[in-house]
Structures are given as C-alpha cells and as structure tokens.
Structure 1
Amino acid sequence: MKVLQSGFCWPSLFKNAHTMCKSCDRCQRLGKLTRKNMMPLNLILIVDLFYVWGIDFMRPFPMSFAYSYILVGVDYVSK
C-alpha cells in the first residue's frame, strides 16, 4: 500500500505480490483472505508532465560562447 501511496511506478506489483504469496508457506497456511485483510481499492492519482514544475536562474559561470548565466527549468513529475 505504501508503494502505491508514495507514487512509485511498479507495473507488475500485483503479479509479484501474488507470486510471493504463492511461494510463502505461512501465507498458504493462513487460507483465504477475508475482506478485512484485503488491500483497499483507491484511485491512483494521474499527473501530467509539467503539472508541477520550477524555474531557476543560475549565475555566474565561466564565460562560454559569450554567456555566463543559465536558465534551468525542472519538471518535478518526471525529473
């Protein structure tokens, strides 16, 4: 649940969890899961690129092609 809430992308999360539970002796002895033990279904927040971004003006640098300043734009979603 924490992986999904933190926003990490793990396309095979449910497949890997299913495989791990099938190979775990303790999980197999537990039997069927009840609704209490199931993970709740929550919507995943989908954010477009450049939805959260920043801009910074960096200076001074050694002269390069007659420029000594850099303008930096960062997309915080895709980095």
Structure 2
Amino acid sequence: VVAKAIRLGYYWLTMHKDAHDMIQKCCDYQIHRPMTRHPQQPLTPIMALWPFYKWRIDIAGPFLEGPGKVKFLIVAMDYFTKWIEAKALATIIGGQRVPDAPLTGLGLDVAPHRCLPRLLLQCGM
C-alpha cells in the first residue's frame, strides 16, 4: 500500500504507521489474513503396535441422496497400515453405531482385531 502511494507521488512521515492501522481495521484483511494454526493442546501420538491393532470408525452424513438412496458413509481406518474401507449406506440403525472407545469391564480396550472384522461383515464391508 505504501509503495503504491509513493509511486503515485504521495509521501508523509507517518504513512507506514497509517497504512498498517488502516489494514488492521479493514474487514477484508480480517477475513483473509494469514492465521496461525496452533492446536489448543499438545498433540499426542496414537500408538498402534501391529496391523489391525487399533481402528477408527466414522459415520458421516446425511448427504444428498445418491443412487440406491444412499445418504450416509461409514469409514473404517487402521492406524498402523492406514488402510481405509468405506461403504455408502441408506440408513443408520442402532446396531451399526460404534462407541468412541469400547471398554471391557476391567477398563481395558476391547481387542479390536477380534470384534472389528465381525462388525465390518455386519455392515457389508
């Protein structure tokens, strides 16, 4: 902004400060300014000791209906291999929901390598 004003033949002592203040107050600058993207809390790695040890399952939707009246998407991802399986579904019923962190009675994680293949077969994956 200042360089353009100087090229046009304008100059005053506080032009740098005035330009900075004007840009800070500009609505377009506030919307399109570069933002620092720091996580609110430190990131912690998710440890997977071997393939199919830890999975993530997400259900997305509803989307606009597609062929076959599908409007939901269920996605399963293995943390170790980054293997992804996805299936489009017409409806989501109670039997297809998966808790965020399944636990046993002892507070230990459920062995996903035993229960997840059965769940994926039930969903038709």
TM-score between the two structures when normalised by the length of structure 2: 0.22
When Rg is computed on C-alpha atoms for both structures, the one with the higher figure is: 2
TM-score w.r.t. the length of structure 1 is 0.33
